[in-house]
């Protein structure tokens, strides 16, 4: 599929004004294709006598195309481009009729049949350039238009769209005319949905899911709708522009590639957010944040849309910041920034230290393929962190004033970084243009290191700064409690601008100095020697979970940067995690300790001892929660106890009994976790997997079975899994991912050794055949990350040099290989080998 370049988009935007789309979709044409009829009304500007341009469409069959009543030859379709030649200035009408393919990869019009009850559902995911898989379009964000949509569906289906929909006949539906929106924001979701509807502030609200998930959605409907209403009200307190669409539907859809998509009036979410098994409060908080994030997009992205994809931060960074901040302000989940610090910020730090890093706001993104790669930890986590720092520096009042000026100036239109900075500048006398240059146009992570000098009564703090950005931070000074050396008390929290003009007096020497306390800036921090000793002795004694998150992140960074042995991190976790109360911190530390330290940073010879340490830690947490007062903490401990099991006896007994002694009882999610680990350890077989699938025949059961089968330490099982991933194109995006997650296991390195060199050529081939979504999955989940050795690194580097992988796969491979090289360096340091 030809990608659209920035230059092509700018040329087309100068030539055309697009006014109106009429789209008719017929979803009753069979299992493979649907019919798409599109009428586009547009104007060619008075610039030349005639103009040539093109419209994008990628059909199974282009049946007819007519321009101003004159037929176009379907044979002139070149890949995904239909040429429109000799256009004269003035108004024109293009009509296109085509058969379009359903997708099984979450792109375009995805089709899914629920194995639980046989019901079928379809939904669109048209971001970033997948519009052409559904209807003909001038597919770029700055050619906004009004859309009228009609759909023909099976009679038992309900059709959802950007606006209110009405049934106009048996199986025929019409959606309300949209305001002016971009092509990629058009949305349809059709099927026998289970719906819960209400009204708020005069607008219809709805939540929707598959029928088989109805009991689970109903159980959480009050929580979901309460969060939706609370965020909606909070945004109306922040923003002077009212919600710009006629309804607000949230559809939880199957096999969705992203967390959610901000289609105006019809937000689509991955339906794992309809919880079918026990979850922690942190998982509920994440769901609430995603709801708030997507609602923020109604203003940041939908009302005011980027002009081109170099400004994706105007969408994602703002929605990320607003999602966390508004969830904390408007819902019961008041500690969202701790979760951000643990789960999201590390994502940004990691991405920003790889060779594929890019500015939050790049100067230019050359084409749509390049743009798609930038939806990463930089555009989300780093961008949100930059905005949090901007609010700290600017003040929330001026920040919101600038935002509201931006909405007023550009509503239902498009805007750039320069437009936004001009809006902010109108609200403050600070030099926001200089701030944007230093924060948004640069790459990399600054590092802040404390130096404490002077005599005990006249100590002074100096922050050494490696990097280019100014930071406004808080510095927490902590003393050890005289009655309990394991407890730390906050003496003072200093506001500090870095770079400093002079050292800051701090009085007597603190036991611990924490830079960036409160996590208001984006920088790696380090500790002086005395603070390091205090952390090892009393980290769990810090009173604020957000401060503990800053410290744990710093320890994580130090491991990755070869400044702290991985085994020391495990020792600190073993000492302090049994006393931790914040669920996000417990889960984040255990996940890093297991998936990075035990699985990658330590050698195979060191790994058993690490798993024993983690198993003992989880056992302590399970014992601590026997009173039943901490179900979320207990659930996390049980999950990680399963993941770190080196011997099958205990978890096999849990599976046989259907419960962990003292709870919880095993729901489907826990049963599949245990069975997967038993498969890895060679303690189960195909008969047991088939029996479990009969017990849970749902789509998540199908994924669990695929995961287990690929994890079996059996040559035939590995061969079948490999063939399913790379030799056929039958697996959906989710089943491909489940299979990939099961295939490589550190315990099975010898068994799968011969597949490592095969991976690169076959991943390149499957990515080329199946497109960006599978390319991403092949690079993210099917990569042999367990093989931390020079041969794997060499093979990967040769692939990048010689094989010309699809851009989506190239980016993932480059990131994976950088992480692999880092793991090799950490191993050398931790073991003293070279």
Angstrom distance (rounded) from CA 824 to CA 816: 12
**Alpha-carbon torsion 462, 463, 469, 472, what sign?**
negative
pLDDT per position as a tens digit, 402-416 = 999 999 999 999 999
Angstrom distance (rounded) from CA 14 to CA 8: 10
At 297 the three-state DSSP class reads coil
pLDDT per position as a tens digit, 160-215 = 999 999 999 999 999 999 999 999 999 999 999 999 999 999 999 999 999 999 99
Angstrom distance (rounded) from CA 747 to CA 760: 22
Which whole-number Å values give the CA distances from 573 to 357, 538, 556, 589, in the listed order? Answer: 30, 11, 11, 7
- Element housing 67 (H / E): strand 61-67
Q: Report the mean per-residue pLDDT for the chain.
A: 97
For residue 274, what pLDDT band results from cuts at 50, 70 and 90?
Answer: very high
Q: For residue 242, how many other CB atoms are within 10 A of its CB?
A: 10
DSSP 243: P
Q: How far is CA 374 from the centre of its chain?
A: 12
For residue 832, what pLDDT band results from cuts at 50, 70 and 90?
Answer: low
Angle at 205 between CA 130 and CA 172, to 5 degrees: 60
Classify residue 190 by burial, with Cβ atoms within 10 Å: 0-12, 13-18, 19+.
buried
pLDDT per position as a tens digit, 641-681 = 999 999 999 999 999 999 999 999 999 999 999 999 999 99
Angstrom distance (rounded) from CA 489 to CA 509: 14
For residue 455, what pLDDT band results from cuts at 50, 70 and 90?
Answer: confident
CB 272 within 8 A of CB 254: no
Q: Which residues are identified as catalytic?
A: 294
User: Cα-flanking dihedrals φ and ψ of residue 123, to 5°?
Assistant: -155, 155
For residue 831, pLDDT beyond 70: no
CB 60 within 8 A of CB 101: yes
Which whole-number Å values give the CA distances from 542 to 81, 490, 518, in the listed order? Answer: 60, 8, 13
Angstrom distance (rounded) from CA 392 to CA 461: 21
For residue 368, pLDDT beyond 90: yes
Instruction: List CB contacts of 700: < 8 A, sequence separation 6 or more.
Output: 276, 668, 669, 672
pLDDT per position as a tens digit, 5-21 = 999 999 999 999 999 99
User: Cα-flanking dihedrals φ and ψ of residue 267, to 5°?
Assistant: -80, 130
Region 230-258: mean pLDDT is 98
For residue 228, pLDDT beyond 80: yes
Lowest mean pLDDT among 682-696, 789-803, 820-834: 820-834
Question: In residues, how long is the chain?
Answer: 834
For residue 334, pLDDT beyond 80: yes
Identify how many contiguous H helices and E strands the chain contains and give both numbers.
Answer: 27, 28
Angstrom distance (rounded) from CA 603 to CA 828: 9
Q: For residue 723, how many other CB atoms are within 10 A of its CB?
A: 10
Domain 446-553's class? mainly beta
User: Cα-flanking dihedrals φ and ψ of residue 260, to 5°?
Assistant: -165, 170
Classify residue 808 by burial, with Cβ atoms within 10 Å: 0-12, 13-18, 19+.
buried
Angstrom distance (rounded) from CA 713 to CA 747: 9
Output the pLDDT for position 833. 45
Closest of 171, 131, 130 to residue 147, by C-alpha: 131
Q: Is 446-553 in the same CATH topology as 1-192?
A: yes
CATH value of 197-430 in 1.10.390.10, 1.20.1630.10, 1.10.8.870, 1.10.3720.10: 1.10.390.10
**Would you list the DSSP string of 606-672?**
THHHHHHHHHHHHHHHHHHTTTSS-HHHHHHHHHHHHHT-SSSHHHHHHHHHTB-TTS-B--HHHHH
Q: For residue 450, how many other CB atoms are within 10 A of its CB?
A: 19
CB 474 within 8 A of CB 517: yes
Q: How far is CA 586 from the centre of its chain?
A: 21
Domain ranges across the chain: 1-192, 197-430, 446-553, 716-834
DSSP 626: T
pLDDT per position as a tens digit, 760-811 = 999 999 999 999 999 999 999 999 999 999 999 999 999 999 999 999 999 9
Angstrom distance (rounded) from CA 509 to CA 492: 12
For residue 834, pLDDT beyond 50: no
Classify residue 101 by burial, with Cβ atoms within 10 Å: 0-12, 13-18, 19+.
middle
Region 249-264: mean pLDDT is 98
Token readout for 745 is 């296991």
Output the pLDDT for position 829. 76
For residue 529, pLDDT beyond 60: yes
- Element housing 95 (H / E): strand 90-101
Lowest mean pLDDT among 502-506, 625-629, 740-744, 765-769: 625-629
pTM of the complete model: 0.97
CATH topology of domain 1-192: Immunoglobulin-like (2.60.40)
Instruction: List the beta bridge partners of residue 448.
Output: 465, 525
What spatial distance separates the first Cα and last Cα of the chain, rounded to whole Å? Answer: 46
Angstrom distance (rounded) from CA 145 to CA 163: 15
Which whole-number Å values give the CA distances from 630 to 525, 590, 614, 618, 626, in the listed order? Answer: 32, 17, 20, 14, 8
Angstrom distance (rounded) from CA 121 to CA 115: 12
CB 174 within 8 A of CB 168: yes
Output the pLDDT for position 830. 65
Q: How far is CA 476 from the centre of its chain?
A: 31
Instruction: List CB contacts of 73: < 8 A, sequence separation 6 or more.
Output: none
At 92 the three-state DSSP class reads strand
State the helix-helix crossing angle for 733-743 and 772-780, rounded to 10 degrees.
20
* Lookup result for tokens 């019009």: 109
pLDDT per position as a tens digit, 540-599 = 999 999 999 999 999 999 999 999 999 999 999 999 999 999 999 999 999 999 999 999
Angstrom distance (rounded) from CA 613 to CA 9: 56
Closest of 153, 137, 60 to residue 101, by C-alpha: 60
Closest of 117, 132, 112 to residue 3, by C-alpha: 132
Closest of 258, 399, 382 to residue 320, by C-alpha: 382
**Would you list the DSSP string of 96-152?**
EEEEEE-BSSSSEEEEEE-TTT--EEEEEE-TTTTGGGTS-B--STTS-BEEEEEEE
């Amino acid at each position: 599929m030809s990608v659209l370049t920035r230059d092509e988009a700018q040329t087309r935007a100068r030539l055309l004004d697009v006014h109106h789309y009429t789209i008719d979709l017929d979803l009753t044409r069979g299992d493979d294709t649907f019919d798409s009829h599109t009428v586009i009304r547009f104007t060619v500007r008075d610039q030349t006598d005639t103009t040539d341009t093109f419209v994008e469409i990628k059909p199974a069959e282009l049946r007819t195309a007519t321009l101003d009543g004159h037929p176009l030859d379907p044979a002139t379709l070149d890949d995904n481009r239909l040429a429109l030649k000799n256009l004269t200035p003035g108004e024109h009408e293009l009509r296109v009729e085509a058969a379009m393919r359903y997708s099984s990869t979450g792109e375009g019009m995805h089709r899914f049949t629920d194995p639980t009850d046989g019901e079928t559902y379809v939904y669109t995911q048209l971001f970033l350039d997948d519009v052409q898989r559904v209807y003909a379009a001038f597919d770029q964000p700055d050619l906004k238009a009004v859309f009228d949509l009609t759909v023909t569906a099976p009679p038992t289906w309900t059709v959802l769209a950007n606006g209110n929909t009405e049934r106009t006949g048996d199986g025929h539906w019409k959606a309300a005319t949209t305001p002016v929106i971009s092509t990629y924001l058009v949305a349809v979701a059709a099927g026998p949905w289970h719906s819960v509807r209400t009204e708020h502030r005069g607008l219809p609200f709805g939540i929707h899911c598959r029928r088989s998930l109805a009991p689970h959605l109903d159980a959480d409907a009050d929580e979901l709708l309460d969060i939706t209403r609370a965020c909606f009200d909070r945004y109306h307190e922040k923003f002077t522009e009212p919600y710009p669409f006629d309804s607000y539907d949230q559809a939880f859809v199957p096999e969705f590639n992203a967390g959610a998509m901000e289609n105006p009036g019809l937000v689509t979410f991955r339906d794992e957010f309809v919880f079918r098994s026990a979850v922690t409060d942190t998982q509920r908080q994440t769901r609430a944040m995603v709801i708030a994030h997507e609602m923020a997009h109604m203003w940041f992205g939908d009302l005011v849309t980027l002009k081109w994809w170099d400004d994706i931060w105007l969408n994602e960074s703002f929605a990320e910041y607003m999602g966390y901040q508004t969830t904390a302000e408007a819902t019961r989940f008041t500690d969202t920034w701790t979760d951000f610090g643990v789960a999201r910020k590390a994502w940004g730090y990691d991405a920003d230290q790889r060779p594929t890093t890019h500015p939050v706001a790049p100067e230019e993104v050359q084409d749509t393929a390049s743009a798609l790669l930038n939806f990463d930890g930089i555009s989300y986590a780093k961008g949100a962190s930059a905005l949090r720092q901007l609010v700290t520096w600017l003040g929330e009042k001026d920040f919101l004033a600038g935002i509201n000026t931006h909405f007023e100036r550009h509503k239902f239109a498009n805007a750039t970084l320069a437009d936004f900075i001009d809006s902010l500048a109108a609200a403050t006398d600070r030099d926001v243009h200089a701030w944007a240059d230093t924060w948004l146009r640069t790459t990399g992570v600054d590092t802040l290191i404390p130096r404490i000098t002077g005599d005990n009564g006249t100590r002074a703090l100096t922050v050494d700064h490696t990097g280019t950005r100014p930071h406004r931070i808080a510095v927490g000074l902590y003393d050890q409690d005289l009655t309990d050396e394991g407890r730390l008390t906050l003496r003072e929290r200093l506001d500090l601008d870095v770079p400093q003009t002079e050292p800051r007096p701090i009085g007597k020497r603190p036991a611990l100095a924490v830079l960036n306390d409160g996590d208001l800036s984006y920088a790696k921090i380090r500790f002086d020697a005395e603070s390091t000793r205090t952390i090892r002795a009393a980290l769990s004694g810090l009173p604020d979970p957000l401060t503990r998150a800053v410290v744990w992140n710093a320890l994580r960074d130090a491991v990755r940067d070869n400044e702290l042995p991985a085994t020391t991190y495990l020792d600190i976790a073993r000492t302090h995690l049994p006393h931790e109360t914040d669920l996000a911190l417990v889960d984040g530390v255990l996940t890093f300790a297991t998936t990075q330290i035990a699985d990658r940073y330590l050698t195979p010879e060191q790994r058993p001892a690490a798993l024993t340490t983690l198993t003992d830690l989880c056992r302590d947490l399970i014992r601590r929660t026997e009173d039943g007062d901490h179900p979320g903490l207990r659930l996390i401990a049980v999950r990680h106890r399963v993941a770190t099991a080196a011997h099958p006896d205990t978890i096999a007994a849990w599976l046989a009994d259907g419960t962990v002694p003292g709870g919880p009882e095993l729901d489907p999610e826990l049963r599949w976790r245990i069975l997967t680990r038993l498969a890895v350890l060679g303690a189960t077989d195909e008969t047991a997997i088939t029996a479990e699938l009969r017990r849970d025949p749902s789509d998540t059961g199908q994924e669990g079975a695929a995961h287990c089968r690929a994890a079996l330490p059996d040559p035939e099982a590995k061969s079948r899994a490999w063939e399913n991933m790379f030799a056929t194109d039958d697996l959906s995006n989710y089943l491909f991912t489940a299979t990939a997650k099961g295939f490589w296991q550190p315990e099975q390195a010898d068994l799968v050794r011969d597949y490592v060199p095969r991976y690169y050529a076959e991943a390149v081939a499957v990515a080329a055949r199946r497109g960006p979504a599978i390319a991403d999955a092949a690079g993210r989940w099917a990569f042999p990350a367990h093989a931390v050795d020079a041969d794997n690194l060499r093979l990967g580097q040769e692939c990048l040099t010689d094989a010309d992988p699809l851009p989506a796969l190239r980016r993932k491979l480059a990131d994976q290989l950088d992480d692999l090289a880092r793991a090799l360096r950490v191993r050398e340091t931790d073991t003293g080998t070279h």
